[in-house]
Amino acid sequence: MFAGIDLGTNNCRMLLGTPAGQGFHVLDSFSRVVRLGEGLYETGRLSAVAMDRAIASLSICAERARRWAADTGTGPLRLRAIATEACRQAENGAEFIALARERTGLPLEIINTREEAELAVESCASLIAKAERRALLFDIGGGSTEVAWVRVNCNGAAPELIGYLSLPVGVVTLSERCSQACYTEEGFAAVVETVAAMLRPFEAVHRIGQEIRQGGVLMVGTSGTVTTLAGVSLKLERYRRGLVDGFFMNRGAVEAALAEAKAMGRDGLSRHPCIGADRVDFVLPGCAIFAAIHELWQIPDLVVADRGLREGMLMRLMRNVRPERRGYGLA
């Protein structure tokens, strides 16, 4: 068995599975909003309350992983647990990691921005393979946004990371800085331009626009923002992963979904079955980040991915582990 735990700025997630064909069979999953990065933009530190929420969820993950390892006959468990932007930014990030390790027994570690981009690419490899030459992948997180420029290999080899960019903005940080501004046309446009200015140096280096004009480039989006817009576009009465993961949207569909999300207002967004009250404050900030990417890089098609770092960790663990190295990854 293999398990991946991803502690982000807003969510704590776990996925546990066994190898199956070219992928894996899910045995257990867990996701909870912990708001670890709440107040981080203002104070530069993780609050005691936020750390307690995160550790409580990590403890649930650890207990469930231990139970699977003890109660099933599927063999030993190999586990990896990572933390991302909130812990990278916080003055007390390393202190929190030490405390979480002590209380949960999990081998929690902070990963750098490059590995975060690599794991996102790994999780979406089967979707990236649908591109003819290149793929532009983005992952709008709670505290940061990762952008990966990827070469697609026609010989069946894994996609290659040409370059990556990590923006220090995500749905949580933007919601704390300018959530209300996003509800007006002028405010939304200002946020889009702010994000676009952060993206332009990456464009200048890699000349992605020129590659797009040559054709064969696919955009891949993996985040709650993009899956929400897919749900809006599909008119879902409840969120259905099977319909969203791998869903293709052309530019017209993307622009229509963005316009519909903006027109709903806060009350309409909170009532939408693919959003809800607990995520409503993050929708339009995420849409502003996505709109900046969408406007700067005029790629004809977007493929939506309901997958992320947990899936990337499992795929990497399954590929890299040797039989003699397998072992239970919890203290």
pLDDT of residue 15: 95
Rounded to the nearest 5°, which phi and psi values hold at 94?
Answer: -65, -35
Q: Report d(CA 281, CA 277) in Å as an integer.
A: 8
Q: Report d(CA 212, CA 208) in Å as an integer.
A: 6
Q: Report d(CA 74, CA 1) in Å as an integer.
A: 7
Tokens of 37: 């990065």
Q: Percent of the chain, pLDDT > 70?
A: 95
pLDDT of residue 72: 65
Q: What does the pLDDT look like over 237-277, one tens digit per residue?
A: 888 999 999 999 999 999 999 999 999 988 888 888 888 77
Cβ burial of 223 (10 Å; 0-12, 13-18, 19+) is buried
Superfamily of domain 125-306: Exopolyphosphatase. Domain 2 (3.30.420.150)
Q: How confident is the model at residue 153 (pLDDT cuts 50, 70, 90)?
A: confident
Q: What does the pLDDT look like over 300-326, one tens digit per residue?
A: 999 999 998 999 999 999 988 754 444
Q: Is 70 helix (H, G, I), strand (E, B) or coil?
A: helix
250 C-beta neighbours (distance < 10 Å), count: 12
* Same fold? 2-112, 125-306: yes
Q: Report d(CA 95, CA 274) in Å as an integer.
A: 36
Q: Please tell me the class of the 2-112 domain.
A: alpha beta
Q: Report d(CA 164, CA 147) in Å as an integer.
A: 6
Q: What does the pLDDT look like over 161-191, one tens digit per residue?
A: 999 999 999 999 888 887 688 889 999 999 9
pTM here? 0.90
Half-sphere exposure of 263 (CA within 13 A, CB side): 7
Residue boundaries of the structural domains of the chain: 2-112, 125-306
